[in-house]
Amino acid sequence: MPELPEVETTVRGLARYLEGERIARVTLNRADLRRPFPEGLVQSLTGATVTSLGRRAKYGLIHTDREQTMVFHLGMSGRWRIEPETPDKHDHLVLETGSGHMLALNDARRFGSVDMVFTPGLYQWPAFAALGPEPLGEDLTAQHLAAAFKGRAAPVKPLLLDQRIVAGLGNIYVCEALLRAGIRPDKAAGAISRKAIDRLVPEIKAVLSESIEAGGSTIRDYAQPNGELGYFAANWRVYGREAQPCRHCGTPVQRMVQGGRSTFWCAKCQK
DNA sequence: ATAGTCTCCTGCCGGC
DNA sequence: TGCCGGCAGGAGACTA
C-alpha cells in the first residue's frame, strides 16, 4: 500500500488515537516481520505515553516520553487497522491505549518492519542517515537532483526509487511524476536536461501533495474497522493503465519492466 | 562506485 | 471448481 502519501495519511490517522495517550498494552502475535521485532519492544512501549507522531520518507514515527521512538515501515502490504471488530491473522502487533482504543499493525506479506530508536539520535540512526531529502521539503531542489543525476548512465526511473536520492517516492508516484514532467522513464539520468529537471521537481511535489490531500479528505475511511486505505487510483494518469488512453494525449499507455518492476508511461508525452 | 538481478511473503486474478 | 503462473505499493543483499 504505502508510498509517502499513504504513510503520511496513516500517521495523521493514528495521531488522532495515539497522541497524548498512554499505551496500556502491547501484544505481539509473532516474533518478526521482515526482521525480528526489537528486543524489549513490549517493555519499551508498555506504560509509555505517546508524545507525538511523525514521518520520515516512508517510515512512520511514534514518539514516546521515554526518549524512544517506535519506527514502523509498512513494506508492500502493511496497514494499521483501527478498532478492528474481529482479529485478522495478519495483525502482528496490537496496541491498546489507556482510553481503550485498539490499533493493529497488519501486514500480510511481512515486508514491513518495526524498530525502537533512541529519539535524540533518531536522524543518526543508520537507516535514516542514508536517506535523501524529503520530497515535500525545501531540500529537494532541481540543483539536488541535477547533482544526483550527473554522470549517471542508469535510467532515471529506477534512480528516483532510490531512497538515497529522494526519500519517499515509490513506483506509482515516480511513474506519475515522470509523465507529468514529460520525461521518458528509460532515459539515462545523466542525459536529462536541466530544463526537464526543473519541470520534474515541482511535479514530484505536486503529485505527492495532491495525493495526501485526497487521503486527508477521506481519512474517515481510515478509521473504519477494515482499515482499508486505498491509493487514489482514479487520479492516476498512467500507473496501472496499460493500453488505456493517456489522460494527456489519448495515446495508449505503455508498460515496461525496469529493475523487475512495472513502469507505465506515454510514448508521446514523455521524451 | 554503479548497475542490474534476486529474494523475502501472501493474496488475488485470469486462464485453462 | 481447482490448479498454476504471474503480478503486486519496498528495500536490502547479492553479482559483476
How confident is the model over A26-39, as pLDDT tens digits? Answer: 999 999 999 999 99
Contact A39, A68 (CB under 8 A): no
- Give the nucleotide at minimum CA-to-C1' distance from A162: C11
pLDDT above 60 (res A84): yes
Is the pLDDT at A3 greater than 80, yes or no?
A: yes
User: Model confidence at A230, in pLDDT bands (50, 70, 90)?
Assistant: low
Interatomic CA–C1' length for residue A240 and nucleotide C1, angstroms: 30
Q: Which residue is nearest to nucleotide B10 (CA to C1')?
A: A109
Residue range A147-193, pLDDT digits in tens: 999 999 999 999 999 999 999 999 999 999 999 999 999 999 999 99
Bases in strand C with any atom closer than 7 Å to a protein CB: 7-12
d(CA A139, CA A207): 17
Nearest one of A233, A266, A231, A234 to A250, comparing CA atoms: A266
**Quick check: A261 CB within 7 A of strand B?**
no
Among the options A6, A8, A56, A58, which is catalytic? A58
Query: Has A58 been annotated as catalytic?
Result: yes
Q: What is the pLDDT of residue A221?
A: 40
Residue A22 contacts strand C, CB under 7 A = no
What confidence score (pLDDT) does residue A59 get?
97
What is residue A213's predicted lDDT score, i.e. its pLDDT? 86
Is A90 within any annotated ligand binding site?
A: yes
- Give the position of cell 550527473: A150
A2 is catalytic: yes
- Residue partners of A229: CB distance under 8 A and separation at least 6: A1, A6, A9, A10, A13, A79, A215, A221, A222
Q: Does the annotation mark A3 as catalytic? A: yes
Whole-angstrom Cα distance, residue A78 to residue A206? 25
Angle made by CA atoms A225, A212, A187, in degrees to the nearest 5: 125
* Nucleic strand B near CB of residue A49 (< 7 Å): no
Give start and end residues of each alpha helix (H) in chain A: 4-18, 41-45, 126-129, 142-149, 156-161, 171-181, 194-217, 219-222
Q: Where in the sequence of chain A do the CATH 1.10.8.50 domains occur?
A: 142-265
A205 has catalytic annotation: no
CATH architecture of the domain A142-265 equals Orthogonal Bundle (1.10)
Which residues of chain A are in CATH 3.20.190.10 domains? 4-129
The C-alpha atoms of residue A55 and residue A33 are separated, in whole angstroms, by 20
| A108-130 tens-digit pLDDT | 999 999 999 999 999 999 999 99
151-190 on A, CB < 7 Å from strand C: 161, 163, 170-172
Q: Which phi and psi (to 5°) does residue A161 adopt?
A: -85, -10
The whole-number Å distance from A260's CA to B6's C1' is: 9
Distance A134 CA to B13 C1' (A): 35
Reported confidence tier of residue A210, pLDDT bands at 50, 70, 90:
very high
The CATH classification of domain A4-129, taken from the options 3.40.50.2300, 2.40.10.10, 3.20.190.10, 1.10.3720.10: 3.20.190.10
SS3 of A13-29: the string is: HHHHHHCCCEEEEEEEC
Query: Which 107-126 positions of A have CB less than 7 A from strand B?
Result: 108-111
* Mean pLDDT, rounded, for A124-148: 97
Q: Is the pLDDT of residue A267 over 60?
A: yes
- The active-site residue out of A12, A205, A255, A261 is A261
Average pLDDT, chain A: 93
Q: Is the pLDDT of residue A228 over 80?
A: no
Confirm whether any atom of chain B, the nucleic acid strand, is less than 7 Å from CB of A232. Answer: no
